[in-house]
Amino acid sequence: MMRPMKLAGSELVFGNGSLEYIKSVNCERAAIVVGGSSMEKNGTLEKVEALFKEADVVTTVISGVEPDPSIETVLRGAKEMVEFNPDLIVGLGGGSAMDAAKAMWIFYEHPDLKGLQDILPPNTFPKLRKRARLCCIPSTSGTASEVSRSIVITENSTGLKYGIGNMEMMPDIAICDGDITVSMPSKITAETGMDALTHALEALVSNRANYLSDILAKAAINDIFKFLPKAYKNGEDKEARELMLQASMVAGLAFTNVSLGIVHSMAHTLGSVYHISHGLADAIILPYVISYNKQSEIAKEIYKNISDELGIGDIEFEVKRLNKELNIPEKLSELIPNREDYISKLDILADFAKKDGCTKTNPVIPEIEGFKELFIKVYDGSKEN
């Protein structure tokens, strides 16, 4: 039986200039969670604070969220929230800031919880919204955390990334303003954009895919192929920025309902072991997994159909072509030069990827040896590349 669909929270606002919606949000005290200094440097944080001030909302800023946010950062932020007592939590920035805001929300609402293990299965996921609602405002076009039920949090002691998903974490309010993404550097534009494309393509062949998720995923795929190169080449292209952010959002609506596949399993693993940025890992792995998934006649037919709808010869080739246009490496050896070290870690890589939650919805589920072979192919590159 199909799982119930949930398309975003209660308020989904998008389009250039939509940041003004902040003045309509019903709250009294807002805690704004940000990453490094980019939101401050480009003036977005100041604008957000000013809009809340116009609405007579008291704000505080919780800053210093690192890429791949750690549980220590999450617990620090939650402690600051307990002291400030917000009725609205705002995740402002890329996926790390939004994921951290979601995680801080959990520990703010439940100060009796002490660490990451308390919210991992088999523990019952805690109920939220007794103290605050969550608003997410993305500054990148890729993670779709603003319409996602998922977070990725790093355990400092091991360096391992843990993906946690529950509909309780779906943000109540998502504000997707393309103007905020204009200052995004071309490299980040490319990597986050390929993360969004991976979301859509993996949702399309997920073994939970359905009629509605397919409509969403196909729309996102079409627009990403069209507008990502434009946004990459000219960050000031307002139309490309707006439509990339919307395509990322739509891909998020698809995958948060039907899950992902082994591109994400492998990318999460490489992020944990080699600290490769998530979108970059997705981009490199994606064509290899498309090729691997063609073992499934169902997936093969889906890839053929989307290729036909896009008017291209083959989706695998088109992803490779797009990667080249975005100056993304063809294989992992360009990022990890020590092959001997990489091969020595194959057992660890394969084991982590096999256990990742995204693996179970891939159209073809590899065993450990299958994962090892894939990790080697992604490292060495295939002859066709």
User: Span 340-344, mean pLDDT?
Assistant: 97
d(CA 83, CA 366) in angstroms, rounded, equals: 47
Look up tokens 């791949």; give the residue.
Answer: 68
Q: Look up tokens 């969550």; give the residue.
A: 134
pTM: 0.95
Residue (of 189, 203, 196, 202) closest to 325 by Cα position: 189
**d(C-alpha 195, C-alpha 184), whole Å:** 15
How confident is the model over 76-105, as a mean pLDDT? 97
Task: Report the C-alpha gap between 217 and 215 in whole angstroms.
Answer: 6
Domains of the chain: 11-180 (3.40.50.1970), 185-380 (1.20.1090.10)
Over residues 124-137, the pLDDT tens digits come to 999 999 999 999 99
- Tell me the pLDDT tens digit for each residue of 2-28: 678 888 889 999 999 999 999 999 999
At 68 the pLDDT is 87
Pairing verdict, β 161-165 and 150-154? antiparallel
**Counting every residue, how long is the chain?**
385
Integer angstrom CA distances of residue 149 from 44, 305, 373: 25, 29, 31
> Are the C-beta atoms of residues 145 and 91 closer than 8 Å to each other?
yes
Quick: pLDDT tens for 19-69: 999 999 999 999 999 998 889 999 999 999 999 999 999 999 999 999 889
Least confident of 146-150, 198-202, 279-283: 146-150
Angle at 244 between CA 165 and CA 358, to 5 degrees: 25
Tell me the C-alpha distance between 330 and 284, whole Å.
6
pLDDT exceeds cutoff 70 at 385:
no
